[in-house]
Copies of this chain bind each other. A is one copy, B any other.
Amino acid sequence: MNDVKLESILAKFDLKIAQLNALNYASSMMFWDASTGAPKSGVEARSRAVGVLSGFYHSISTDCEFKEILDQLELHKADLSQEQNALRKHFQKEYNKISKIPAAEYEAFQSHISTSAMVWEQAKENANFEQFKPYLETTIETLKKFASYRGYEGHPYNLYIDDFEPGMTVSQLNQFFETLKSRLVPLLNQIRAKQKPDKGFLKQSYAIGKQKEIAEMLLDCIGFDRQRGMFEESVHPFTMGVAIDDVRLTSHYYEKDLLSAMLSSVHEGGHGIYEQNVDHKLSGTPLATGASNGFHESQSRIYENNFFKSDAFMAFLFPILQEKYPENLESITYETFFKAVNCVEPSLIRIEADELTYALHILVRYELELGLISGTQSVAELPKAWYDKMEQYLGVVPMNHSEGVLQDVHWSEALFGYFPTYALGSAYAAQLCYYMKKEINVDQQLRKGDFGPLTKWLNEKVHQYGALYEPTELIEKITGETLNVNYYCDYLEQKYKKLYDL
């Protein structure tokens, strides 16, 4: 191919990218609007519009014109820049994901998912697994069938984990979770034998206005640029990278919970900082986001857990909180406060879990969903298996399915392969933190409340690259080694052994 021809193909490719980006932009707007105050009565009109726009997205990204562009680019990949190749691979992967599935089956499954999600909502409300069961069965059967259409190496679940964490495989995950289990379950058992710290004071009344001020202060402090984004309220906190220079976060405030809004603000802030600091050369492309779900989660968790909940930062923050809420905190010692913030308490609900038990919630889900896709776990027996694993790893059991197997939305939307990335995120965070500490006195910075050099390090090592590298490449580029779960286990052991005098 001569240069002129390649240039014309690249121009067509750019046009397609701009079109798909515009459709994503529009969908983001609708989602943001729906989550931050749109009237309920508008839901039908919005659903119609969302449906049409996702139809446009689907047809542009899978039509033969686009396929032709991708094929041409692949033939000449040696002549493409690193970004061009990453984009080519991104869209080729999206294309492969859909194109091998017969269109009618694909559409039927989309419609199944939307019903399944509605049924799950009902079933959860009624704590009635039987209601949801047939939908989950169809989902599993379809995912298996689609895996055979798409083709895979090793294990069908590899396909689904790869959708969220490119390059990750079942065999790596098995090893990852085996190590987690063997190191964290005994640690938790040791902690459970110890006396629980007092944390009742965290559930007193804390004026919401002041909570908002604190949340804003924390975002400024960690380095989220509120001028290049928005910070609003929604039922479930989330982050949305509308564009590199338009990154939006939400939080949620509970009067009777001092920690919740601070944690979710810092967590979403971490996601937001990632989105805001991608190199502008990736602007307007699907590479202007994190390297993977796991990598994105590593950034929310490094700020929330490794930094925010650290002894060093808590020592900085506590006097500020005491000044804001003297009536609640004047008589509390720093030690009591720090222990309360990091209290380990096995519980039933994943999203309310503490830093240590959180990983075990994921372990339960990983083992179950792997079993479902492998065919070794039946849907009918899922509630019992859930119960058993909760008992075995966390030592607590649900009283009903709504706080058990029905608690999370993921399976109802066929998001298999998503859960593991939460644990991978914490593991990436621990590994990054270990290497960051070789270059920066992290604790000294946190003790001053100065995140500057920490955020700058992450900007340089992680954020700027967006999704230019696969997560496996990126972690190796930064730390010189592949993902090593032992950093995560070491970090948790060190932290909690000290906290609980073990």
Which of A44-52, A356-364, A401-409 contacts its partner? A44-52
Return chain B residues, CB-CB under 8 Å to A242.
42, 45
Q: Which of B23, B38, B45 contacts A230 (CB 8 A)?
A: B38
Our pick among B42, B48, B228 for the contact of A21 (Cβ within 8 Å) is: B48
> Which chain B residues border A18 with CB–CB below 8 Å?
48, 52
Q: Which A residues from 201 to 247 make CB contacts under 8 A with B?
A: 227-230, 242-246
A136→B246 CA distance, assembly (Å): 34
A265: shortest Cβ distance to chain B, in Å? 18
Cα-based distance from A45 to B276 in the complex (angstroms): 13
A492 CB within 8 Å of chain B:
no
* Pair B39/A29 contact, Cβ less than 8 Å: no
Question: Is there contact, CB below 8 Å, between A48 and B230?
Answer: no
CB-contact partner of A246 in B23, B45, B243, under 8 A: B45
A45's partner among B38, B39, B283 (CB-CB below 8 A) is: B283
Q: Which residues of B contact A29 (CB under 8 A)?
A: 26, 29-30, 33
Q: Considering only CB atoms, which chain B residue lies closest to A37 in the complex?
A: B230
- A182 proximity list for chain B (CB < 8 A): none
Q: How far is the CB of A118 from chain B (nearest CB, A)?
A: 20
Answer whether A45 and B227 are a contact pair too, CB < 8 Å, given A18-B52, A26-B53, A39-B245: no
Q: Would you call A331 an interface residue if the criterion is a C-beta within 8 Å of the partner chain's C-beta atoms?
A: no
A435 lies within 8 A of chain B by Cβ = no
Known: A53-B22, A56-B56. A246 touches B32 (CB 8 A): no
Closest to A288 in B: B45
Do the beta carbons of B284 and A45 come within 8 Å of each other? yes
Complex CA distance for A242 and B48, rounded to whole angstroms: 12
Contacts A22-B49, A49-B25 given; does A39 touch B284 at CB 8 Å: no
Q: Which residues of B contact A227 (CB under 8 A)?
A: 39, 41
Do A49 and B37 touch (CB < 8 A)?
no
Give the contacts of A338-359 with B (CB-CB under 8 A): none
Q: Which residue of chain B has its CB nearest to the CB of A40? A: B227
User: Inside 8 A of A53's CB, which chain B residues have their CB?
Assistant: 22, 26
Q: Does A378 contact B (CB under 8 A)?
A: no
For the complex, give the distance between the alpha carbons of A230 and B246 in Å.
23
Residue of B nearest to A246 (CB): B42
* Alpha-carbon gap, A111 to B115, bound state (A): 45
Q: Tell which of B30, B32, B51, B284 touches A26, judged by Cβ atoms closer than 8 Å.
A: B30
Contact residue among B21, B46, B51, B52 (Cβ-Cβ distance under 8 Å from A49): B21
A19 interfacial contact with B, CB 8 Å: yes
User: Assuming A41-B228, A45-B243, what are 15 further A-B pairs, CB within 8 angstroms?
Assistant: A18-B52, A21-B48, A22-B49, A25-B46, A29-B29, A32-B33, A37-B230, A38-B246, A39-B230, A41-B227, A42-B242, A44-B245, A45-B244, A46-B243, A48-B284
A interface vs B, CB < 8 Å? 18-19, 21-23, 25-26, 29-30, 32-33, 37-39, 41-42, 44-46, 48-49, 51-53, 56, 227-230, 242-246, 283-284
Between A and B, 25 residue pairs with Cβ closer than 8 Å are A18-B48, A18-B52, A19-B56, A21-B48, A21-B52, A22-B51, A22-B53, A25-B30, A25-B46, A25-B49, A26-B30, A39-B227, A39-B228, A39-B230, A39-B245, A41-B227, A41-B245, A41-B246, A42-B228, A42-B245, A42-B246, A45-B242, A45-B284, A46-B243, A56-B56
